[in-house]
Amino acid sequence: MNSATVRNLLVRGMLAGLAAGLLALVVAYFLGEPPVDSAIAYEEGHSHEHGVEAVSRTMQSTAGLSTGVLVYGIAFGGIAALAYCFALGRIGRFGPRASALLLAGAGLVAVYVVPFLKYPANPPSVGEADTIGRRTALYFLMMVLSVLLAIATVILGKRLAPRLGNWNATLAAGALFLLAAGLAYAFLPAVDEVPKDFSPSLLWRFRLAALAVQATLWTAFGLVFGVLAERVLTPGRTAGERRAAGGGGAGGPPRGRGV
């Protein structure tokens, strides 16, 4: 893939990330902010220290949230677009849109869901201040392990396919991924710092909201970026031809300006 194509995909990935960030922002505001407010109220009711806020809660939940999510979406879109450039043509004979959706789905599982199941998100007032560095390190370690295992799974599946067939190779590689992730779950230390009197329903709602935000971000990115990438990689096709090839199957990597 030439540098001009990579640059075009990078720009479109950032635009798709911005669009996905806007949708994720809506989900974060309506689903995530109410549990955060409840958690802050719990913290204030159980704390004897009442400092002055450097940034008001209103500013945090509006401008602060918007800036954080949108900047994250743009950066996330750029990184995902580069990963797409590397993966295109290496994960099977799929069209641009199908490849984008597959990459988004695999990224959601490897980057977020697998680490989330071991170290789920917690609202304010949950977790000791002295252990934040340790908890952050453990989370990122689990995320790195998950991503490496996902890459190894794809490589193993492709190597097993000639002998076992695509279906059996996928099942075998997927089983090894689950086994390796299970071993990581077993050997990495657990973190449980939820106060005993903290509302389980509030914790559940917060974690579901965090999962919904990430699912919205990755899914929206896969859908939007797939359309934008297809226009870069198959510029000579009509709209009907692009729709017919978008499902992958016999598509394969594009020629000329593609891989």
Summarize pLDDT for 50-78 with one digit per residue, the tens: 555 666 777 777 888 899 999 999 999 99
How far apart are alpha carbons 192 and 119 in whole angstroms? 9
- List the structure tokens of 7: 């640059």
pTM score: 0.84
- Residues of 131-141 as b/e, b for ≥16 C-beta within 10 angstroms? eeeebeebbee
Q: What is the pLDDT of residue 252?
A: 44
Q: For all residues of the chain together, what is the average pLDDT?
A: 86
Q: Kindly report, residue by residue over 150-176, the tens digit of the pLDDT.
A: 999 989 998 998 899 989 999 999 999
Q: Tell me which DSSP letter residue 259 carries.
A: -
- The CA distances from residue 6 to 77, 99, 164, in Å, are 13, 15, 34
pLDDT band at 25 (very low <50, low <70, confident <90, very high): very high
